[in-house]
Amino acid sequence: MDDRETCPQCAQRFDAADNRCYYTPFRRITMFVPTIPKDTPGSVLFGLMCPYCGYKFQSRTLRYFGWISYPVFFGLLVGLLVLLLAIAPLLMSLR
Q: Cβ distance 56 to 47 under 8 Å?
A: yes
pLDDT attached to residue 16: 84
H or E element in which residue 4 lies = strand 4-6
Residue 92 lies in a domain: no
Domain that holds residue 57: 4-70
Read out DSSP for 33-87?
S-SSTTPPTTTTTTEEE-TTT--EEE-SS--BTTTB-HHHHHHHHHHHHHHHHHH
Residue 91 lies in a domain: no
Residue 80 lies in a domain: no
pLDDT attached to residue 63: 72
Tally of domains within the chain: 1
Q: What pTM does this model have? A: 0.56
In the predicted structure, residue 67 carries a pLDDT above the cut 60? yes
How far apart are alpha carbons 33 and 36 in whole angstroms?
9
Quote the DSSP letter at residue 22: S
